[in-house]
Structure formats: structure tokens, C-alpha cells
Amino acid sequence: MNYYNITLLNSPLDAFTYQSQNTIDIGTKVKVKFRNREVYGVVLASCKEPDFKTSDILEISDSIYSQKQISLARFISTYYFCSLGEAFGVMLPYESGVHSHAEHGNERVLPQITLSTKQNEALEFLKKHKTALLFGDTGSGKTEIYMKYFEEMMEQKKRSIFLMPEISLTPQMNQRLHKHFGDAVVMWHSKLTPKQKKESLRKIHDGSAKIIAGPRSALFLPVKDLGLIVVDEEHDESYKSSSRPRYNARDIAIYMGKIYDVGVVLGSATPSLTTYVKFPHFRLRGGHFSSKKEFLYERSSEKLSPIILNSLQKTLEAKEQAILFLPTRANFKYLICSDCGHTYKCEFCSVGMSIHHKTRSINCHYCNFALSIPQECSECKSPNLISSRLGTAEVVKEIQSEFDEVNVEQFDRDVITTANKLKEALKRFNDKEIDILVGTQMISKGHDYHGVSLAVVLGLDNMLNMSDYRAREKALSTLVQVAGRSGRKESAKVLVQTFNEDFFNAYIERYEDFLEDEKEYRKELYPPYKKLCRILFSHKNGIKASEAMQQMQESLRRFSNVEIVGFGKCGIERVADKYRFEILLRSDKSTDIIKAISACKNTMAEVDMDPIEFG
């Protein structure tokens, strides 16, 4: 009889021992019984017969995690504090039965991409460095450079992974890649239908997929002969997972570059300070088309002011297109009584409820709890309820009532709920059936449309005033990115509503100056100069959560090389009926943080390494 240590896929528990008559390779995916359920696990190691009774491995599959995937899972599990089973849970294994039969064929590369001299220089630079940053302005042709690099990889019979931050970028990118590479491109994202998923996987397994593109999950596919990983919009927050394992796909890509010994390209017009400090970069300036952008500032809190309405009017008259960004969805973010000051908060979360006119309700954006819109204040019975903090739905409504015959659409998570709706909205915009697109972050990312001559940006001050060490970086990069969706071919006007004109104006066309200044501000305190780690405790019973936090905080004190920056209630004290407490740690090295936390482990503690959320 053989004995094996097996970690259960997606389970937070440690490994268990099972037995089998067969010899099984390390990394093999197997089926076992656990607490009367049949579950999948991964064989980690063979071991001696234990002194307790073990059960049989029920089934040995043809799926196997490679040595490198195992190393990667170990890294994820240690660095991001999750079980090995959870780390393997984000990956897909290789199929040992499948043979590549598509080594030739479909190398239908047409038409050849011709890069400009500057783009060529950039490509040469990227090829010379194992991990490098392509710091190229919006519209400067970064995507074309990646594509040329993919082409070269294909010539060397190597495959490339192309990461993009969000599914909202996939339809256009898919089209762009398909046009060039045909069937050699495979898209991978969570909204694929089971049939599409199966087809994509088949092509990945048999090797006919040469370019594997998609959001962060595309990083963990069983790609053979990997040659290159490109992380587009590397600064983007959606690379960071907000549930366990709380990994950052950009950082995992860099790590993979090392263990797979392949090149990694990080691309952005607004690189994160961390990447800028850590890796060599090539600066690509100006758009590919020599269009001009004019920035205008209006000192105002967010509203559709006469200046904005005028500009929209002119754009409509000229039969051009506009985009309007604001960081808030729904009609309004808050409902407040103007007589007693009562704010409507969720019953289960300590956050305000947003007003949605379409559903005539106020909704919690954290737990989805909803109530119908109240007619009078629940505290003082006053009918004078006021809504504040403008959202996308309200802007759409106001634009509709302001202009006759305007095609205005909302572009956010409330409306774009499926892959199809996304594809169709973007197609309508591209076909100029939409005059004005009003959206949240979704609108700011990487889209390449040529007819946008006006970008209106609201709500930046709310981003800038957040208590987050990255608030400046976030607000400025949002402005640069939204502005970058306009004037890609023709010239454009960018209208910014803010009381912080000095800040935005100083850096809007000199992002590297911002990065240089930001270095000073972060030294000794924040990443990339220090490592941060947040530990969360949440429980229905607030006392229990608080006690667990206190206990861990006290035991962490004996580690002198890890500083406790703060501890206590979270900014958002309660979410989905659970009370939340936190500890924030700072250190020079992540290894010190890992050592300290491992020694003080508490079952309630949820560790968030390199956190980007502080609410």
C-alpha cells in the first residue's frame, strides 16, 4: 500500500493522508472521500504509513499540476496566507492524456505589424530585460508592441499570456487580436459559457492556442512552452483579488517570470509607483496619431454645470461623441434628512444606502439589502429628504431631459451585467449609435475608440480625499486614463470638475514628475519602500472579533522588526451583519511579516498582504 499527503481543492484545511494500491505522481488530481462527500484533491507527497487508519483514494485522474504550478501554489499559500488547496483552486492542471497535434497549422499571421521606430526601440528594450515596464502614454501604441512581441514568440514556437485588468476590455481586444492572429488567440474569463470554456480549454490543452488572453484567471491556465507574460494596465486594482487567496496577479506574473524563466512586460500609461521604482522602463511619449488634448478645469463639486452642458451640446451638434466619468453608480449615493440630519444606513452594514430610481429603492452596495425609497424621515417624520453625491443613473436622466434626441447610455455594473450586454454596448458606441456614454471606472480602461472628442470627469475630489496612501495616485491615474479614451485620433477637450486644479494640472501631462514627487511622500512609510499587511477579523459577535484582534495584536508586539501601525475598528465597522476589526502592519521585508503572523496565527485572522483596500 502507498500513502500520500493530499490537499483538498478549495478547502482552507491542511493536508490529509490517504492510501492507494497504485503509485501516483506528485501533482496528480485525485478524488477522495472527505466527511462523507467526494471531493478533489492534489497529491503533494508520498509518506510513511501513518499510525491511524486512512481511506482509499477513489479515483486517479489524468489531470496533473506541474512542478512549477506546485512551486507557485506553495508561494501563494505562504505569501498570501491561504491553504495549498485554496492556492491550487485558482489553477487549472495539465492533461496528461492530450497530445499536441497543432504545432503547425493556423500560423496565419496577417497582416504583419509594422512598428514605428520608437515602438521598435521599445520592443528591443523589453526583449533585453527579463521584467520591464512599458511606460507609454495612452494611445501611444503599447498594444501594437505587445502584438509584435506575440508574433515573435509564435515564430519561436512559444506561447504568450496576455493579462488585461477586466472583462470589460475583452470584447474589443478579442476583436483586435483575432483580426491579426485568428484562431491562435484564446480568450479566458469568468463570463464564458460552459461550451466556450470547454473549447478554449481544448485549444490550451492541445497547444493550438498561442496567445491566451483575459483577466487575472488567465494567468493560471496550463499553458505549454510559455515564452512571455504581458500585464496590460499593470497599475489596475482589479489585478488584486479581494477574496482568498488575496493575490495580486501582476505580482504573481512577475514571480512566474522567474520560475518559468520567461519575459514579463508590465504596460501602463500610469504605472504604479512600485513598478516604476522596481523595474527598468522604456518611456513612449505621445499618441500614435498626433491628436491634441485641451484640459479645462471647473471649480465645482459634482453637478452638470452650464459649462458641461454647453460642451455636451457642442459635441452633439458636431455629431461627435462624449464620455462622462464619475466614480459613483446609482442615482445618488446618500439619502439624508435635511431637518434632523439622519442618514439612511444599511441595517447590516455601516454604510449609506444608495438611491436607485429605476427600482424605486435604496440599496446597500455591500450586501445588496434594499428598502423602498422612504417618503419621510424615519426619525423625525420630516418629508424633507435630500439626496446627495451624484451617480451615473442620475446623470443619464439629467442629460436625457436636457437634450432632445440624444442617445445617452449608462455604462456601469448596474447595467452591464452580462458579457453580451457589454459587447453590445461597446459595439453601439463604436458604431456611433451612442452619443454620450456615462460610466464609472469601467469607462476609463483601455478602450480604443476614435470618435470621442469630449471627456467630462466628475468626482475626482472624492477619490483624492480618501484616506488611502494611494489616493493621489488613484485620482490622477483615473484622470489620465479617462482623458486617454478621448482624442485618440482627432483632437479633444477634457473637462475636469475639481477644487484641486493645481494638483491635476501640474501632473496631467507629466506623470513621471508625479511619480518622482510621490517617491518623497512615500519614503520611510509606504510601499514600495515598506511592506504593508492588513489583518482582518470579522464576526457576527463584535466582542469575539475584537478579542481575537486584541490577542493577536498583543502577541505581534514581540516582533521588533514588524511595526504595528494601527489596530481597532475598521473604517467600515460592519459589513453583512459582521463586525470588523483590523491590524495594520508595516515592515522592511515581507519575510518578517510572514514570520510574525505565522507565529501568532489566529483562526479568525484574514491576512491581506500588500493591501489596496483600507475601508
Ligand X SMILES: Nc1ncnc2c1ncn2[C@@H]1O[C@H](COP(=O)(O)OP(=O)(O)OP(=O)(O)O)[C@@H](O)[C@H]1O
Q: Minimum distance between the CB of residue 488 and ligand X, rounded to whole angstroms?
A: 6
**Scanning residues 332 to 351, which ones bind Zn ion (CB under 5 A)?**
346, 348-349
Binding ligand X by CB under 6 A: which of 269, 393, 594, 596? 269
Report the Cα 254 to chain-centroid distance in Å: 16
What are the DSSP E strand ranges found in 299-395? 321-325, 332-337, 354-356, 361-363, 370-372, 385-390
Neighbours of 266 (CB within 10 A): 29
380 is in an annotated binding site: yes
Reply yes or no: is the peptide bond before residue 222 cis, omega within 30 of 0.
no
| Count of residues near ligand X by CB under 6 A | 17
364 near Zn ion (CB under 5 A): yes
User: Taking the CA of residue 560 as centre, how many other CA atoms within 13 Å lie in the half-sphere pointing to its CB?
Assistant: 0
- Of residues 368-407, those binding Zn ion (CB under 5 A): 369
Q: Does residue 526 interact with Zn ion by CB under 5 A?
A: no
- With 0-12 CB in 10 A as exposed, 13-18 as middle and 19+ as buried, what is 431? exposed
Q: Is 366 in the site for Zn ion (CB under 5 A)?
A: yes
**End-to-end alpha carbon distance in the chain:** 52
> How many other CB atoms are found less than 10 A from the CB of residue 371?
14
Does 600 show up as a binding residue in the annotation? Answer: no
- Cβ of residue 597: shortest distance to Zn ion, in angstroms? 29
Which residue has its beta carbon closest to ligand X?
141
Closest distance to ligand X from the beta carbon of 351 (Å): 33
How would DSSP label each residue in 405-442? T--EEEESTTT--SHHHHHHHHHHHHTT--SEEEESGG
C-alpha cell, 63: 489531470
As measured in angstroms, the least distance from the Cβ of 131 to ligand X is 19
Minimal distance, residue 172 CB to ligand X, in Å: 9
- Angle at the Cα of 25 from the Cα atoms of 22 and 27, rounded to 5 degrees: 130
Least distance (Å) between residue 139 CB and ligand X = 4
Residue 141 interacts with ligand X (CB under 6 A)?
yes
Instruction: Assess 448 for contact with ligand X (CB under 6 A).
Output: yes
Between 250 and 356, name the residue whose CB sits nearer to ligand X. 250
Evaluate the omega torsion of the peptide bond into residue 611 and state whether it is cis, within 30 degrees of 0.
no
* By the rule CB under 6 A, 115 interacts with ligand X: yes
**Closer to ligand X at the Cβ: 63 or 477?**
477
Say if residue 364 carries a ligand binding annotation: yes
Q: Does 144 bind ligand X (CB under 6 A)?
A: yes
Contact range with ligand X by CB under 6 A, out of 142-150, 321-329, 454-462, 555-563: 142-150
Q: Fill in the per-residue mask, 248 to 267: x = in contact with ligand X (CB under 6 A), - = not in contact.
A: --------------------
Indicate the residue among 2 and 116 with the shorter CB distance to ligand X. Answer: 116
CB of 136: closest distance to ligand X in angstroms?
5
288 binds ligand X (CB under 6 A): yes
Q: How far is the CB of 574 from Zn ion (least distance, A)?
A: 8
Q: What are the backbone dihedrals phi and psi of residue 251, each rounded to the nearest 5 degrees, phi first?
A: -70, -35
Q: Which of 63, 119, 311, 321 binds ligand X (CB under 6 A)?
A: 119
Residue 367 binding partner per list ligand X, Zn ion, none, with a CB distance cut-off of 5 to 8 Å that depends on partner kind: Zn ion
Torsion sign (Cα): 274, 276, 281, 284:
positive
Binding mask 456-495 for ligand X (x = CB under 6 A): ----------------------------x-----------
Helix/strand/coil (H/E/C) assignment for every residue in 533-557: EEEEEEECCHHHHHHHHHHHHHHHC
Nearest to 149 by CA among 240, 228, 80: 228
Cβ atoms of residues 556 and 562 within 8 Å: yes
Least spacing, CB of residue 116 vs ligand X, in Å: 5
Q: Is 361 in the site for Zn ion (CB under 5 A)?
A: no
Q: Which residues contact 603 (CB under 8 A, 6 or more apart)?
A: none
How far, in Å, CA of 186 to CA of 55, rounded?
Answer: 40
- Which residues, listed in sequence order, are joined to residue 323 by a DSSP beta bridge? 437, 455
Residue 367 sits in the site that holds Zn ion (CB under 5 A): yes
**H helix intervals, 284-360:** 306-317
By a kind-dependent CB cut-off of 5 to 8 A, residue 364 interacts, out of Zn ion, ligand X, none, with Zn ion
Find which of Zn ion, ligand X, none residue 116 binds, CB within 5 to 8 Å per kind: ligand X
Residue in this structure with the C-alpha cell 521598435, named with its chain if needed: 120
Going by C-alpha positions, the residue among 400, 475, 447, 495 that lies closest to residue 174 is 447
The grid cell for 32 is: 477522495
Q: By C-beta, is 86 or 144 nearer to ligand X?
A: 144
Q: Which is nearer to ligand X, 116 or 551 (CB)?
A: 116
Q: Is 377 annotated as a binding residue?
A: yes
Segment near ligand X (CB under 6 A), from 62-70, 112-120, 533-541, 575-583? 112-120
Has 533 been labeled as part of a binding site?
A: no
**Does residue 572 bind Zn ion (CB under 5 A)?**
no
CA dist 138 and 136 (Å) reads 7
Cα 346 from Cα 483, distance rounded (Å): 35
Closer CB to Zn ion, 354 or 477, in the complex: 354
570 is in an annotated binding site: no
In terms of CB distance, is 242 or 505 closer to Zn ion?
242
Are the C-beta atoms of residues 453 and 494 closer than 8 Å to each other?
A: no
Interface residues for ligand X in 181-210 (CB under 6 A)?
none
Q: List, in order, residues 6 or more apart from 545 with CB less than 8 Å away.
A: 537, 538, 539, 578, 579, 580, 581, 604
Residues at the contact surface with ligand X, assessed by CB under 6 A? 114-116, 119, 136, 138-144, 269, 288, 446, 448, 484
> Which residues are part of a known binding site for Zn(2+)?
337, 340, 346, 349, 364, 367, 377, 380
